[in-house]
Amino acid sequence: MKKELTGYPSIDLPQSVDATFLEKNPFIPSMDIVTILKLLSSKNKDLPAIDSDELKASYKELIADAHKLSLGFRELGVRKGDIITISLPSNYQALLCFFALNEIGAITTYIDNYASEVEVLNYLSKYQSPILINFNKSKEYNEKIKDKSNVRYIVTLKNDLRNSKYFNYDYNLNQSDFELNFHTIGSLAKFQKNRIHLPNKGNDDALISYTSGSTGQPKAVVLTNKNILAAEMYAGNTSHTENITATKTMITVPFRYPYGFVTSLLTSLLWGKLAILTPKWDIDTIVYYFRKNPNIIFGSPAALEMMMRHLPEDMDLSQISHFISGGDFLTLKHANRAYDFFKKHNNTTVEIGNGCGNAETVSIGSTPVGVPLKQSTAGKILVGTIPLVIDKDITDDKPINNGNNLEEKKYGEVGELCLAGDFVFKEYFGDKERTECAKFKRNGKTFFRTGTLGFVDKDGYFTPVNRKSRFFIISRSYKVYLDNVQRIIGASYNGIADIACVKVPDENELYAVKAYIVLKNGVIPNEDTERAIIDSLLVPVNINGKLEQLKDYEMPKYIEFVSELPRIPGAEKINYDALEKDALDKISKDNVLCRIKK
């Protein structure tokens, strides 16, 4: 007899109607991720696991390399609970570091490979990292970092060795050494007893990832082994990954985002697939990566647009079974353009779908894979989790003290999506107040407020309609948070009275920043002022006692001086929709954007 629906998603759990008892109530083993990988790959250890540019590795090689690296890290003094900061491209060595540190019980945090010196120092100070691992930095750069931080060692992956899997370059560690070549770490392993790896616990911290929230300022999200494994199991039980026969996935999203590292890469490895990494994903390399013939693409709307713009007309894409879009919502119009594109490339069976998630839920909240596609949705809410939709106007800067008193939205009613399950993050690092605002208890379950507005339907699918944060994704798959950009610009130049930043189309990066600026009285809106604003962004600025600086891809490409910014009547908030329309109208009319408007 079919269960009668109450109309409330958290009671009906419509996504779980056809699921088994074990899928609805999965047992989450209390162990680390590297142990899970060893167990799952025991039967396919000789199969290929990683294709990273010219470097290839089987599952057996991946596990062996990670173990040797873990012994080398132990020799450098890395201990359980240490937080190691990694500023590498999304390549094999970056992946190895996670498994090596996970074996020790240390915590990995991937930061932007484009991070400025100031940003790197902020992270090192925040986490008191004993080791920084970076890419192709000079001795002079590393000396500056060492002098201004408490790191004991800086390990640099040299560009000319990025495709080398040999980690045993002869090296004797001296007491005065602080700078090491990444490929010498293996030679330090011989000084450590080759101990049996005893799994760390599920509740141990494993990864610190990043989210923006409504402010655009990255928040450090602490994820445990259990959080990560739960997200993988929920997604696998919903998508029935055991039925997916595709053998190659391609990861286009950087590791610093949980969608890139956990949802895309760890999922691929736990599925037993070959993961194609893209350490340098841009218009110059996209053809090279697609010639590796991936079957499943973990991408974004920006990655899809890159494909449609830059792949050759005669390239056969018939082997692609899925394009999974995350990070931003893929519109129905965009998806339909993509289906037409694939048809022209000999593929009429590809599935193009949206997923939805946050760093706080290990980037997974719903999935389009393995379920009937509903193109306008973000897929089905994960089996084993609890969806709850609450009033979208409830403030998010104060804790919800009694979740049982919240009014729940019914099917089709728009509100803020909240999710409960073992994948809900542990905490924001060093920020108890924000953690308490982001989570609340209801009927004994811990829910996370996703910040995504939308509705759940009677089949368990979630349709997003808006987000509280403003961002876009460029062709290199990096996110640009507009509120954060305008905050730093406004603080960098003293002559700015008011500022608003919006996205505009860009030929190379897909999108770029346009800044609308109101100048203070007496400051002249001319080219000299524009140049002074840009120059001010080339040096760090002190904001509330912390040095901050824009990355190269966050720099405004266009500046327009205006007398005032449009406001929403009654709310006194900036009308960003009006500004974005204004910018698009100027492109349509003139095919250019005026750099300065007096």
The H-or-E segment that residue 309 falls in is helix 301-310
301 vs 324, 361, 458, 509, 510, CA distance in Å? 9, 21, 27, 12, 10
HSE, side-chain direction, 13 A CA sphere, residue 505: 12
3-state helix, strand, coil in the chain (%, to 5): 30, 25, 45
Determine the average pLDDT of the residues in 2-12: 85
Sign of CA dihedral 530, 484, 277, 336: negative
Given a contact cutoff of 8 angstroms between Cβ atoms, the answer to whether 341 and 314 are in contact is: no
Q: Provide the pLDDT for residue 296.
A: 96
pLDDT band at 461 (very low <50, low <70, confident <90, very high): very high
Q: Provide the pLDDT for residue 235.
A: 93
Written as six digits, the tokens of 329 are 């919502």
Q: Rounded CA gap, 59 and 41, in Å? A: 7
Determine the average pLDDT of the residues in 78-104: 97
Determine the average pLDDT of the residues in 560-576: 83
Q: Provide the pLDDT for residue 68.
A: 94
CA angle, 198 then 200 then 205, to 5°: 160
Name the one residue in this structure whose structure tokens are 């109309």.
7
- Tell me what the pLDDT averaged over the chain comes to: 91
Given a contact cutoff of 8 angstroms between Cβ atoms, the answer to whether 506 and 253 are in contact is: no
What is the tens place of the pLDDT at every residue in 221-265? 999 999 999 999 999 999 988 788 889 999 999 998 889 999 999
The H-or-E segment that residue 117 falls in is helix 117-127
Determine the average pLDDT of the residues in 461-467: 85
Q: Rounded CA gap, 77 and 61, in Å? A: 24
Measured in residues, the chain has a length of 598
Written as six digits, the tokens of 559 are 């500046």
Given a contact cutoff of 8 angstroms between Cβ atoms, the answer to whether 78 and 84 are in contact is: yes
Determine the average pLDDT of the residues in 166-190: 88
Question: Does residue 456 register a pLDDT over 90?
Answer: yes
Q: Rounded CA gap, 568 and 578, in Å? A: 9
Q: Provide the pLDDT for residue 588.
A: 62
Smallest CA-to-CA distance from 46 within 58, 30, 29 is with 58
pLDDT band at 594 (very low <50, low <70, confident <90, very high): very low
What is the tens place of the pLDDT at every residue in 344-381? 999 999 999 888 889 999 998 999 998 998 888 999 99
Question: Does residue 159 register a pLDDT over 90?
Answer: yes
- What pairs with residue 381 in β-bridges? 366
What is the tens place of the pLDDT at every residue in 102-130? 999 999 999 988 888 999 999 999 999 99
Written as six digits, the tokens of 367 are 């999935």
Given a contact cutoff of 8 angstroms between Cβ atoms, the answer to whether 456 and 382 are in contact is: no
Question: Does residue 598 register a pLDDT over 50?
Answer: no
Determine the average pLDDT of the residues in 274-301: 95
CA 304 from centroid of its chain's CA atoms: 17
Provide the terminal-to-terminal Cα distance of the chain, rounded to the nearest Å: 70
Given a contact cutoff of 8 angstroms between Cβ atoms, the answer to whether 325 and 464 are in contact is: no
DSSP assignments along 429-478, one per residue? TT-HHHHHHHEEEETTEEEEEEEEEEEE-TTSBEEEEEESS-EEE-TTS-
Pairing of strands 219-224, 427-428: antiparallel
Written as six digits, the tokens of 503 are 């996205």
Q: Rounded CA gap, 311 and 426, in Å? A: 41
Q: Rounded CA gap, 325 and 303, in Å? A: 9
What is the tens place of the pLDDT at every residue in 391-448? 988 988 899 999 999 999 999 999 999 999 999 999 999 999 999 999 999 999 999 9
Smallest CA-to-CA distance from 262 within 162, 153, 362, 127 is with 362
The full set of domains in the chain, from first to last, is 9-28+205-467 (3.40.50.12780), 58-191 (3.40.50.980), 478-590 (3.30.300.30)
- Map residue 359 onto helix, strand or coil: helix
Written as six digits, the tokens of 451 are 């910040």
Q: Rounded CA gap, 386 and 12, in Å? A: 9
Its pTM stands at 0.86
Q: Rounded CA gap, 57 and 420, in Å? A: 37
Name the one residue in this structure whose structure tokens are 């809900």.
424
Q: Rounded CA gap, 121 and 117, in Å? A: 6
- What pairs with residue 133 in β-bridges? 86, 155
- Map residue 565 onto helix, strand or coil: coil
Q: Rounded CA gap, 533 and 495, in Å? A: 9
Neighbouring residues of 24: CB distance < 8 A, sequence distance ≥ 6: 13, 16, 383, 384
Smallest CA-to-CA distance from 86 within 71, 107, 117, 108 is with 108
Smallest CA-to-CA distance from 514 within 527, 536, 499, 528 is with 499
User: Percent of the chain, pLDDT > 70?
Assistant: 96
pLDDT band at 2 (very low <50, low <70, confident <90, very high): low
